[in-house]
Structure 1
Amino acid sequence: MTTDGQAHAARTMWNLLHAWWQMMPKEKQTLANADAAIRQARKDIDFLAVLPAQAAQAVLKTYFQAWKNCWDGRADPPNFKSRLRTVMSVDIPQGRDLNTTRVHRRWGQVNIPKVGRVRFRWTKDLPVGKHAGTENRITGARLVKDALGWHIAFPIQTLQHRPEPHQGPDLGIDVGVTVPIALSDGTVYEHGEWLTGKEKARLLHLEQRAARRKAHRKAGERTSGRLHRTYDQIAGLRAKAKRRALDWQHQTTTAIARTYGTVVVEALTITNMVKSAKRTIEEPGKNVARKAGLNRSISAEAWGRTVTMLAYKTAHHGGTLHKVSAPGTSRRCSACGHTTPGSRESQAVFVCKNPDCGWSGNADHNAARNVPHLYRMGHALIPAAGRAVVRRAKRVKPATAR
Structure 2
Amino acid sequence: MELVKRARAHKARLDLSAAQSALLDGQAHAARALWNLLHEFFTFRQGRFAALKDCDTAIRQARHEIDWMGQLPAQAAQAVLKIYRQAWANYFNPDHPAARPTFKSRARSRLAVDVPQARDLHVARLNRRWGAVNLPKIGRVRFRWTKHLPGVGKDGPARRITGARLVKEADGWYIVFRTETPVSSPAPHSGPTVGIDRGIAVALALSDGSTREHGPWLTGGERERLRRLENKSARQRRFRTPGRPISGRLARTYDQIARLRATAKRRALDWQHQTAAELASTFGVIAVEDLHIRNMIASAKGTVEQPGRNVAQKSGLNRAISGQAWGRTVTLLEYKSADRGGRVVKVPAPGTSQTCHQCGHQEPANRASQAAFACRNTACGWTGNADHNAAINIRNAAGTAVSGRGDLGATRSVKRQPPRAA
1:44 aligned partner, one-letter code = E
Residues 42 and 48 in structure 1, CA contact (< 8 A), matched pair in contact too: yes
Could you tell me how far 1:225 is from its partner in structure 2? 1.0
Instruction: Name the counterpart of 1:15.
Output: 36
Q: Distance in 2 between matches of 1:343 and 1:220?
A: 53
Describe how 1:41-52 pairs up with structure 2 within 5 A: 41-52=62-73
Residues 133 and 140 in structure 2, CA contact (< 8 A), matched pair in contact too: yes
Determine whether 1:324 maps to 2:347: yes
Q: Distance in 2 between matches of 1:358 and 1:261?
A: 32
| Superposition TM-score, scaled by structure 2 size | 0.86
C-alpha RMSD over aligned residues? 2.4
Residues 50 and 421 in structure 2, CA contact (< 8 A), matched pair in contact too: no
Could you tell me how far 1:24 is from its partner in structure 2? 4.7
Could you tell me how far 1:11 is from its partner in structure 2? 1.1
Residues 95 and 141 in structure 1, CA contact (< 8 A), matched pair in contact too: yes
Instruction: Name the counterpart of 2:206.
Output: 183
| Superposition TM-score, scaled by structure 1 size | 0.90
Aligned residues: 390
Describe how 1:120-269 pairs up with structure 2 within 5 A: 120-269=143-292
Residues 51 and 421 in structure 2, CA contact (< 8 A), matched pair in contact too: no
Aligned-pair identity (%): 56
Q: Structure 1 pair 40/238, CA: closer, same or farther in 2 (3 Å)?
A: same
Q: Per residue, is there more helix in 1 or in 2?
A: 1
The structure whose RCO (Cα within 8 Å, separation 6+) is larger is 2
Describe how 1:2-401 pairs up with structure 2 within 5 A: 2-24=23-45, 29-73=50-94, 74=96, 75-376=98-399, 379-381=400-402
Q: Distance in 1 between matches of 2:138 and 2:364?
A: 65
Could you tell me how far 1:9 is from its partner in structure 2? 1.0
Residues 136 and 157 in structure 1, CA contact (< 8 A), matched pair in contact too: yes
Could you tell me how far 1:130 is from its partner in structure 2? 3.4
Please list the CA deviations of residues 182-235 of structure 1 after superposition, one character each: whole Å capped at 9, or x if unmatched.
Answer: 111112111111111111111111112222222223344432211111111111
Structure 1 gaps, min length 5: none
1:4 aligned partner, one-letter code = D
Residues 125 and 152 in structure 2, CA contact (< 8 A), matched pair in contact too: no
Q: Structure 1 pair 27/339, CA: closer, same or farther in 2 (3 Å)?
A: closer
Residues 347 and 403 in structure 2, CA contact (< 8 A), matched pair in contact too: no
Q: Distance in 1 between matches of 2:61 and 2:155?
A: 37
Residues 110 and 118 in structure 1, CA contact (< 8 A), matched pair in contact too: yes
Structure 2 gaps, min length 5: 1-19, 405-413
SS at match of 1:120: strand
Q: Structure 1 pair 341/216, CA: closer, same or farther in 2 (3 Å)?
A: closer
Please list the CA deviations of residues 68-116 of structure 1 after superposition, one character each: whole Å capped at 9, or x if unmatched.
Answer: 2223231223222111111101110121211111112011111111011
2:379 aligned partner, one-letter code = D
**Larger deviation: 104-113 or 158-167?**
158-167
